[in-house]
């Protein structure tokens, strides 16, 4: 960590700060420039609060040179992490296709979709049982009943299950769930992350609406540091000034996260764009830039013409898209 002191810092202030660093077990290397003095800190700075140091009146700026995360970092774990989920894998060249309905609605709905997406090549089934909703008046999901329906679909199709948790108290309900999803709004629910770190479940951690890559990795580090190494990262769009799409899908997340961490990276084009017609091009782009998987919404409700065109693809659209995605992966 590098701390740049302001030109008018007194010798006494500087000594005070150096002593404070030293009391925390750090070595300090002083480099006097023309206008500024730079303190180079040597040792484990991961416990130092950058924003505290930054806010000191004598400090011009602070710069971390080593990442504040360790277990997530590719530096300390150069090989790709490969995670086994049921009889399938993700990471290190293994591509996951996670598909299913936005919300679990009924046994018939779920089983039909599960069979359809399996036939097309999906490797996992997704479906929301607990639904985080902006409004308290919106449908909050089938909750425990939804999990049961997911288990039935798993039995019938053999597809591992991915579903979202909103409260650590619900963990017992998730004992047979294969992948527990942490939604964007809970990415910094640190109490939940710690509890998930104590389990041996695979965790799919979504990037928050306004969170940086570093913050995403720090949240993953909460899980890893408690002992659970099975974390999949997911980019699902960030909030920007553009309102035409629901969010802005940041595909640079794929090569950037691959550089910084060994954890697999999945793209969710359904939530990112909010429009089914944008899902296939964005899923193909995700495959082209090296994503370890995609997560897409598929519905199957022939009785409901209403749903046509929604954020979810039909099974036929999903099938066609997956064929192209597969061909693009062969190019890489």
Q: Hey, which residues between 185 and 204 contact a second copy (CB under 8 A)?
A: 185-186, 188-191, 194
Candidate ranges 80-88, 110-118, 174-182, 286-294; the one touching a second copy (CB under 8 A): 286-294
In whole angstroms, how close is the CB of 42 to a second copy at the nearest point?
Answer: 5
Candidate ranges 34-42, 92-100, 109-117, 149-157; the one touching a second copy (CB under 8 A): 34-42
Q: Where are the alpha helices (DSSP H) in the chain?
A: 11-23, 50-54, 107-120, 144-157, 190-197, 213-224, 253-260, 269-273, 279-288, 315-331
In whole angstroms, how close is the CB of 40 to a second copy at the nearest point?
Answer: 5
Nearer to a second copy, 120 or 188 (CB): 188
Q: Which two tokens stand for residue 257?
A: 């996260």
Nearer to a second copy, 151 or 210 (CB): 210
Q: Quick check: helix, strand or coil at residue 332?
A: coil
> Locate tokens 């008046």: which residue?
137
Residue 318 is a binding residue for a second copy (CB under 8 A): no
Nearer to a second copy, 179 or 249 (CB): 249
Residue 181, CB-side half-sphere exposure with 13 Å CA sphere: 28
Q: Which two tokens stand for residue 195?
A: 């509890």
Per-residue mark of binding to a second copy, 145-174 (x: CB under 8 A): ---------------------xxxx-----
| Edge-to-edge strand ranges of the sheet holding 37-42 | 27-32, 37-42, 2-5, 59-63
Residue 332 is a binding residue for a second copy (CB under 8 A): yes
Who's near 105: CB < 8 A, 6+ residues apart?
Answer: 142
Who's near 39: CB < 8 A, 6+ residues apart?
Answer: 2, 3, 4, 5, 17, 18, 21, 28, 29, 30, 31
What is the DSSP code string of 29-58? Answer: EEEE-SS-EEEEEES--TTS-HHHHHTSTT
Residue 244 is a binding residue for a second copy (CB under 8 A): yes
Residue 60 is a binding residue for a second copy (CB under 8 A): yes
Among the listed residues 51, 78, 87, 200, the single contact to a second copy using CB under 8 A: 51
Residue 308 is a binding residue for a second copy (CB under 8 A): yes
Nearest of 159, 172, 173, 151 to residue 107 by alpha carbon: 151
In whole angstroms, how close is the CB of 250 to a second copy at the nearest point?
Answer: 5
Residue 86 is a binding residue for a second copy (CB under 8 A): no
In whole angstroms, how close is the CB of 108 to a second copy at the nearest point?
Answer: 19
Rg (CA), the chain: 23
Residue 303 is a binding residue for a second copy (CB under 8 A): no
Residue 57 is a binding residue for a second copy (CB under 8 A): yes
Among the listed residues 124, 254, 296, 322, the single contact to a second copy using CB under 8 A: 254
Among the listed residues 93, 145, 240, 316, the single contact to a second copy using CB under 8 A: 240
In whole angstroms, how close is the CB of 98 to a second copy at the nearest point?
Answer: 19
Nearer to a second copy, 107 or 191 (CB): 191
Report the C-alpha gap between 68 and 46 in whole angstroms.
5
Who's near 27: CB < 8 A, 6+ residues apart?
Answer: 41, 42, 43
In whole angstroms, how close is the CB of 179 to a second copy at the nearest point?
Answer: 20
Nearest of 212, 246, 231, 249 to residue 292 by alpha carbon: 231
């Amino acid at each position: 960590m590098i701390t740049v002191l302001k030109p008018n810092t007194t010798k006494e202030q500087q000594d005070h700060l150096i002593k404070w660093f030293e009391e925390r077990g750090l070595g300090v290397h002083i480099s006097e420039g023309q206008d500024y003095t730079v303190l180079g800190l040597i040792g484990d700075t991961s416990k130092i609060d950058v924003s505290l140091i930054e806010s000191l009146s004598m400090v011009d700026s602070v710069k971390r040179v080593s990442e504040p995360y360790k277990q997530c970092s590719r530096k300390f774990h150069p090989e790709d992490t490969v995670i086994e989920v049921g009889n399938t894998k993700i990471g290190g060249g293994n591509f996951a296709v996670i598909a299913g309905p936005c919300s679990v609605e009924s046994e018939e709905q779920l089983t039909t979709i599960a069979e359809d997406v399996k036939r097309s090549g999906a490797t996992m089934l997704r479906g929301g049982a607990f639904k985080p909703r902006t409004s308290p008046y919106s449908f909050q999901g089938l909750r425990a009943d939804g999990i049961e329906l997911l288990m039935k679909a798993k039995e019938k199709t053999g597809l591992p299950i991915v579903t979202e948790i909103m409260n650590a108290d619900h963990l017992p309900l998730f004992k047979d769930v294969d992948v527990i999803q942490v939604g964007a709004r809970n990415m910094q629910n640190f109490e939940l992350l710690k509890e998930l770190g104590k389990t041996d479940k695979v965790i799919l951690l979504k990037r928050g609406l306004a969170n940086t890559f570093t913050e995403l990795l720090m949240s993953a580090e909460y899980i890893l540091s408690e002992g659970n190494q099975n974390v999949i990262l997911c980019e699902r769009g960030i909030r920007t000034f553009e309102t035409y799409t629901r969010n802005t899908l940041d595909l640079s997340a794929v090569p950037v996260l691959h550089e910084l961490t060994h954890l697999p990276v999945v793209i969710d084009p359904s939530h990112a764009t909010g429009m089914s017609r944008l899902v296939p091009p964005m899923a193909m782009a995700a495959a082209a830039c090296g994503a370890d998987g995609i997560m897409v919404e598929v519905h199957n409700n022939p009785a409901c013409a209403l749903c046509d065109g929604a954020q979810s693809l039909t099974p036929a659209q999903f099938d066609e898209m997956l064929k192209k995605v597969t061909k693009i992966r062969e190019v890489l």
